[in-house]
Amino acid sequence: MNENTNFQEEEINIREELEKYLKYWPWFVMSAGIALILAFFYLKLATPIYSTTASIIIKDEDTKSPATSGLSSFADLGVLEGLKTSSIENEIGLLESKRMMTKTIKSLDLNIQYYYSDFLITKELYKNNPFKVSILSLNDEDLNKAVENEINFFTIKENKEGFEIYSENIDKKLKGKFGDPLNIGFADIVIRKNTNYIQPEKDSGEFSFKISNLENIVAVYKSKLKVALVDDNSTLIDLSLDDHIPAKAQDILDQLIVEYNKEAIIDKNLVASNTAEFIDERLKVINSELDSVEINKEEFKEDKKLTDIKAESEIFLNNASDFKKERQRVTTQSQLAKAMLDFLQKGDNSDLLPMNLGIEGEGVNQQISDYNELVLQRNRILESSTEKNPVIKNLDRQINQTRSVVTQSLQRLKSNLDISLNELENESELIQSRISDVPSMERTYRGIDRQQQIKEALYLFLLQKREENSLSLAVTAPKAKIVDNAYTNVNPVAPKSKLVLLGGLVIGLLIPFGIIYGKNLLNNKVKNRGDLERKAKQIPIVGEIPRIDKKENHLITEADRSVLAESFRIAITNMQYLLINKTDKQKGIKMLVTSTVKGEGKTFTSINLALTLANMGKKVIVVGADLRNPQLQRYDVGSRKHLGVSDYLINEDLQLNNLIEQTKFNKNLDFLTSGSIPPNPSELLRHRRLGEMLGMLEEQYDYIILDTAPCMLVADTFLISQYADITLYVVRASYTEKALLQFPIDSKEAGKLHDISFVLNDVDTANFGYYGNKYGYSYGYSEDESFIDKIKKYFD
Q: Are 218 and 105 in contact (CB under 8 A)?
A: yes
Q: How many beta carbons lie within 10 A of that of residue 261, not counting itself?
A: 18
Tens of pLDDT, residue by residue over 763-783, are: 987 665 544 443 334 444 444
CA–CA distance, 154 with 186 (Å, rounded to integer):
13
Residue 73 confidence class, pLDDT cut points 50, 70, 90? very low
The pLDDT value recorded for residue 117 is 87
Tens of pLDDT, residue by residue over 529-572, are: 888 888 888 899 999 999 888 777 788 888 888 888 999 999 99
The pLDDT value recorded for residue 560 is 83
The pLDDT value recorded for residue 795 is 45
Residue 74 confidence class, pLDDT cut points 50, 70, 90? very low
The pLDDT value recorded for residue 318 is 59
Residue 582 confidence class, pLDDT cut points 50, 70, 90? low
Which one is predicted more confidently, 441 or 283? 283
Q: Please tell me the least confidently modeled range out of 49-53, 60-64, 336-340.
A: 60-64
Domain borders along the chain are: 2-46+495-521, 87-255, 263-473, 525-791
**Residue 94: burial class (beta carbons within 10 Å; 0-12, 13-18, 19+):** middle
The pLDDT value recorded for residue 243 is 92
Average pLDDT along the chain: 81
Residue 220 confidence class, pLDDT cut points 50, 70, 90? very high
Given a cut of 50, whether residue 681 has pLDDT beyond it is yes
Given a cut of 60, whether residue 9 has pLDDT beyond it is no
Given a cut of 60, whether residue 48 has pLDDT beyond it is yes
CA–CA distance, 207 with 278 (Å, rounded to integer):
57
The pLDDT value recorded for residue 389 is 79
Q: Are 733 and 524 in contact (CB under 8 A)?
A: no
Mean pLDDT of the region 203-214: 86
Residue 5 confidence class, pLDDT cut points 50, 70, 90? very low
Which one is predicted more confidently, 58 or 579? 58
The pLDDT value recorded for residue 493 is 87
CA–CA distance, 782 with 790 (Å, rounded to integer):
9
Given a cut of 70, whether residue 29 has pLDDT beyond it is yes
Q: Are 632 and 707 in contact (CB under 8 A)?
A: yes
The pLDDT value recorded for residue 352 is 77
Tens of pLDDT, residue by residue over 324-350, are: 777 788 788 778 878 878 777 777 767
Ramachandran sector of residue 150 (left: φ over 0; alpha: ψ -120 to 50; beta: rest): left
The pLDDT value recorded for residue 586 is 65
Which one is predicted more confidently, 23 or 569? 569
The pLDDT value recorded for residue 616 is 92
Residue 385 confidence class, pLDDT cut points 50, 70, 90? confident
The half-sphere exposure of 744 on its side-chain side, counting CA atoms within 13 A, is 31
The pLDDT value recorded for residue 7 is 38
Tens of pLDDT, residue by residue over 408-440, are: 887 787 788 788 878 877 777 666 665 554 566
The pLDDT value recorded for residue 782 is 43
Which one is predicted more confidently, 698 or 450? 698
Ramachandran sector of residue 751 (left: φ over 0; alpha: ψ -120 to 50; beta: rest): left
Name the residue type at position 469: N
Which of helix, strand or coil describes residue 315?
Answer: helix
DSSP 49: B
Q: Are 104 and 252 in contact (CB under 8 A)?
A: yes
Tens of pLDDT, residue by residue over 693-705, are: 999 999 999 999 9
Residue 664 confidence class, pLDDT cut points 50, 70, 90? confident
Residue 388 confidence class, pLDDT cut points 50, 70, 90? confident
Percent of the chain residues past pLDDT 70, beyond the cut: 83
Which of helix, strand or coil describes residue 420?
Answer: helix
Mean pLDDT of the region 756-763: 93
Q: Please tell me the least confidently modeled range out of 56-65, 94-103, 240-249, 787-796.
A: 787-796
Given a cut of 50, whether residue 510 has pLDDT beyond it is yes
Mean pLDDT of the region 105-124: 87
433-440: long-range pairs with CB below 8 Å, 24+: 435/316, 438/313, 438/316
CA–CA distance, 241 with 52 (Å, rounded to integer):
5
Which one is predicted more confidently, 476 or 714? 714
Residue 37 confidence class, pLDDT cut points 50, 70, 90? very high
Torsion of CA 64, 70, 71, 76, to 10 degrees: 120
The pLDDT value recorded for residue 473 is 65
Which one is predicted more confidently, 141 or 418? 141
User: What is the largest distance, in Å, between two alpha-carbon atoms of the chain?
Assistant: 181
**Residue 648: burial class (beta carbons within 10 Å; 0-12, 13-18, 19+):** buried
Given a cut of 60, whether residue 83 has pLDDT beyond it is no
The pLDDT value recorded for residue 76 is 39
Q: Which of 82-91, 345-354, 482-491 has the highest mean pLDDT?
A: 482-491
Q: What is the pTM of this model?
A: 0.52
Given a cut of 90, whether residue 223 has pLDDT beyond it is yes
Given a cut of 90, whether residue 103 has pLDDT beyond it is yes
Mean pLDDT of the region 468-497: 81
Name the CATH superfamily, with its identifier, for domain 525-791: P-loop containing nucleotide triphosphate hydrolases (3.40.50.300)
Which one is predicted more confidently, 736 or 200? 736
Q: How many beta carbons lie within 10 A of that of residue 532, not counting itself?
A: 22
Residue 149 confidence class, pLDDT cut points 50, 70, 90? confident
